[in-house]
Amino acid sequence: MESILIIEDEADIRQLLVFNLQREGFATLEAGDGLQGLEMARAKKPHMVLLDVMLPGMDGFTVCRELERDPQTAPIPIIMLTARGEEIDRIVGLELGADDYVVKPFSVREVLLRIRAILRRQAMVKTTPSLSRHDISIDPAAHKVRVRDAEIDLTATEFRLLEDLLRHAGTVRTREQLLNAVWGYQFEGYARTVDTHVRRLRAKLGTSADTIETVRGVGYRAKA
Amino acid sequence: MESILIIEDEADIRQLLVFNLQREGFATLEAGDGLQGLEMARAKKPHMVLLDVMLPGMDGFTVCRELERDPQTAPIPIIMLTARGEEIDRIVGLELGADDYVVKPFSVREVLLRIRAILRRQAMVKTTPSLSRHDISIDPAAHKVRVRDAEIDLTATEFRLLEDLLRHAGTVRTREQLLNAVWGYQFEGYARTVDTHVRRLRAKLGTSADTIETVRGVGYRAKA
DNA sequence: CTTTTTTTGTCACCCAATTGTCACCTGTCC
DNA sequence: GGACAGGTGACAATTGGGTGACAAAAAAAG
C-alpha cells in the first residue's frame, strides 16, 4: 500500500488529509513540523510527501531541499502546499525539486488527483521491457507482437495473456493464475474462458503456436 | 553572457537592478526613457528587457508594443515593472506580449527568479526539437504543422495532442495518459473527449490520418 | 462593453470487434 | 470402453470506438 507523509502544522488540515487519504486506501504518516517530518521521511521512506510551506522551525523549502539532498529520500515525490498563490512561490518550489504544488485553500479532490497523477507518472517510468522467446517478441509499450519478423494483430486480452505467459516462460500457469493476472482479481467466470483465448492466441501465432504448451491437468506454459 | 536591458526612469531603482543583476552574472544595459530604451533594444539586441510602465515620453506599453512589432526585437522576452497591482495592468501587459510582470515595490529576489524562470523556459523551447514522422512535421516553437509540405491549421488542443502522440511515436498512449499530458492532470472529465479530438485531428491530417493508429482496448499510437 | 466566431467538452447512437459461454468433439490415460 | 481434460465451432452479449450534433466556453471581432 502506498504510504504518504503529511508535513503540516495545522492539525485541522492534517486531519482532513489523513481522513481522505485513508478513505482512498493510502497509508498516512504525520509530522507537525519540518524537522520531525524530515526525520520521519528518512526513517519511513514514504511513497510521497505532502509538504506545507509555512512550518514552525524549519520551513517547507528547507525541508524540501534537505529531502532532495539525501539520496535516500531524493526519489520521493513531493507536493508542496502553499498558502499564497503567487508565482514566485511556485517557481521556487519547483526549482527546489518539488514535483507539484497545491495552493491553499485546496480541495481534497485536487490533492488526490495530483497524488494519483504523480504515482501514475512514476509507475509509467518503470516501463515493462520488451520480451522475446523463440520466434515471438512482444513490445508492451507499443503493444505490438512479432512472430518471425511478421507483425501480428492481437486483441487487448490476447496480448495480456501472451505477455503473462511469456513473462513466466518455463513455468506453468494455472487457469486461476491467468484469470487473476490477465482478467483481474474480481473476475468470476468460467475458468475455461482461458482455453478459448489460448486457442485464439495459438491460431494467430501460426507456426509458433507450439510455444504455448498445454500442461494437462494443470494449466498452460510458454516454452522457456 | 546574458545581457539585460533595464528601461526605467528612476535612477535608484535602475541602480538597484543593475547592481544585483551584475552580481548575479548578467550584463546590463540602461535606458532612462522609452525612446532611448527602444533604440538601445534595437541596437544591442539584449536577451531580456525589464520595462517600467510609467516612463517619461513614451510609456512602457507603447515601448512594449513597438518591441513586439519589430521582428528584430520581437523574440526578446519582456518583464514589465508596474507600480499598480491592478489586474487590468497585468492583462494589458501580457496581452501586449510581455512575458511576465512584477509589481512595485518588488524584491530583487523576485525579479531574479522571474528572469531565471523565463530564461529557463526559453532554453526549453529552444531545445524542443521539431518533429517529423512520415509526412507530418511539426514545429513546436512556431506552432506550425505541415503535412506533405502543405501547412495545416490546428487548434491549440489538437496541436498538443499531435505533439504528444508524435513525441511518443511507436508507443501506445492511453486515454488517461493523453488526458494528463495534453489536458493537464487536473482535468477530470469524459475520457472519450480524447476520441473526439483524435477524430478532428485525423480529419485535418487528411491523407496522413492513418499515422494515428487506434489500438483497440488500449489507446492511440502514432506510427513509429 | 456586446456580438460573432471558433474551439472545446459531452452525449447519444451506431456498428463492428471482441469476449464469454456453451454444447459438442477429440484425444489421452486408466 | 469410459472418464476426463482440453480443443473447437458457434453464437449472443458486451464493449469500444467512430460519428454527428450540440451547447458551453473561450477567443476574436465589432
In what helix (H) or strand (E) does residue A3 lie, and over which residues does it extend?
strand A3-7
Contacts from A69-75 at CB under 8 Å and sequence distance 24+?
A: A70/A42, A72/A42, A72/A45, A73/A41, A73/A42, A73/A45
- The percentage of chain A sitting over the pLDDT mark of 70, rounded to a whole number, equals 80
- DSSP for residue B210: G
Q: Looking at residue A221, what is its pLDDT?
A: 92
Record: contact A156-B186, CB cut-off 8 A: no
Residues in chain A whose Cβ is within 8 Å of chain B: 87-88, 91-92, 95, 100, 109-110, 113-114, 117, 120-121, 124, 141-143, 155-157
The ranges of chain B with pLDDT < 70 are 68-72, 74, 83-101, 103-105, 107, 117, 120-130, 184-188
List, in order, residues 6 or more apart from B91 with CB less than 8 Å away.
Answer: none
Q: Looking at residue A91, what is its pLDDT?
A: 39
Q: Looking at residue B108, what is its pLDDT?
A: 74
Q: Do B82 and B93 meet the contact criterion of CB atoms below 8 Å apart? A: yes
Residues of A in contact with B213 (CB under 8 A): none
Residues in chain B whose Cβ is within 8 Å of chain A: 100, 110, 113-114, 116-117, 170-172, 176-177, 180, 185-186, 188, 215-218, 221, 224
In what helix (H) or strand (E) does residue A200 lie, and over which residues does it extend?
helix A193-205
Give the distance from residue A120's alpha carbon to the nearest chain B alpha carbon, in angstroms. 9
- With CA atoms as reference, the chain A residue closest to B223 would be A142
Interatomic separation, CA of residue A26 and C1' of nucleotide C1, rounded (Å): 51
- DSSP for residue B113: H
Residue-wise pLDDT tens digits, B111-165: 887 787 677 666 655 555 667 777 888 887 778 888 888 888 899 889 989 988 9
Q: Looking at residue A83, what is its pLDDT?
A: 65
Record: contact A88-B114, CB cut-off 8 A: yes
- Pairing, β B144-147 against β B136-139: antiparallel
Record: contact A141-B215, CB cut-off 8 A: no
- DSSP for residue B182: I
Distances from the Cα of A203 to the Cαs of A154, A199, A214, in angstroms? 11, 6, 14
Q: Do B215 and B221 meet the contact criterion of CB atoms below 8 Å apart? A: yes
Interatomic separation, CA of residue B217 and C1' of nucleotide D5, rounded (Å): 32
Number of other CB atoms surrounding residue A159 within 10 Å: 21
Query: Given A88, A91, A142, which is nearest B221 (Cβ)?
Result: A142
Q: Count the helices and strands in chain A (H runs, E runs).
A: 8, 12
Nucleotides of strand D under 7 angstroms from a protein beta carbon: 5-10, 15-21
pLDDT at A138 over 80: yes
The mean pLDDT of A91-104, rounded to a whole number, is 58
Q: Which three cell numbers stand for residue B143?
A: 506552432
Q: Do A155 and B217 meet the contact criterion of CB atoms below 8 Å apart? A: yes
Residue-wise pLDDT tens digits, A54-89: 888 888 888 888 887 776 777 788 888 876 554 344
The mean-pLDDT minimum among A45-49, A155-159, B187-191, B209-213 falls in B187-191
Record: contact B114-A91, CB cut-off 8 A: yes
Residues of B in contact with A141 (CB under 8 A): 170-172
The pTM is what? 0.57
> What is the C-alpha separation between A67 and A73, in angstroms, rounded?
5
The mean pLDDT of A19-27, rounded to a whole number, is 81
pLDDT at A4 over 90: yes
pLDDT at A204 over 90: yes
Residues of A in contact with B217 (CB under 8 A): 155-157
- Sequence-ordered alpha helix ranges (H) in B24-141: 34-44, 60-69, 87-95, 108-127
Query: Given B113, B172, B186, which is nearest A91 (Cβ)?
Result: B113
Number of other CB atoms surrounding residue B7 within 10 Å: 29
> What is the C-alpha separation between B216 and A45, in angstroms, rounded?
39
Q: Looking at residue B138, what is its pLDDT?
A: 86
> What is the C-alpha separation between B171 and B223, in angstroms, rounded?
8
- With CA atoms as reference, the chain B residue closest to A139 would be B171
Q: Looking at residue B100, what is its pLDDT?
A: 67
Helix (H, G, I), strand (E, B) or coil at A83: coil
Give the distance from residue A88's alpha carbon to the nearest chain B alpha carbon, in angstroms. 7
Give the distance from residue A202's alpha carbon to the nearest chain B alpha carbon, in angstroms. 20
Give the distance from residue B172's alpha carbon to the nearest chain A alpha carbon, in angstroms. 5
Distances from the Cα of A105 to the Cαs of A63, A84, A85, A109, B120, in angstroms? 21, 9, 10, 12, 29
For A66, phi and psi rounded to 5 degrees?
A: -65, -40
Q: Looking at residue A163, what is its pLDDT?
A: 92
Q: Looking at residue B86, what is its pLDDT?
A: 43
Best of A115, A143, A157 to disrupt the B interface (most B CBs within 10 Å) is A143
Instruction: Report chain A's mean pLDDT, rounded to a whole number.
Output: 81
Record: contact B113-A120, CB cut-off 8 A: no
Q: 3-state secondary structure string, B73-89?
A: CCCCCEEEEECCCCHHH
Helices A60-69 & A34-44 angle (0-180, nearest 10): 30
Distances from the Cα of A184 to the Cαs of A127, A129, A144, A157, A189, in angstroms? 20, 21, 22, 11, 11
List, in order, residues 6 or more apart from A196 with CB less than 8 Å away.
Answer: none
Q: Looking at residue A185, what is its pLDDT?
A: 60
Record: contact A142-B170, CB cut-off 8 A: yes
Strand ordering across the sheet containing B3-7: B27-31, B3-7, B48-52, B78-82, B100-103
Q: Looking at residue A81, what is its pLDDT?
A: 82
Give the distance from residue B12's alpha carbon to the nearest chain A alpha carbon, in angstroms. 24
pLDDT band at A36 (very low <50, low <70, confident <90, very high): very high
CA-wise closest residue to B102 among B112, B24, A53? B112
Q: Do B52 and B7 meet the contact criterion of CB atoms below 8 Å apart? A: yes
pLDDT band at A160 (very low <50, low <70, confident <90, very high): very high
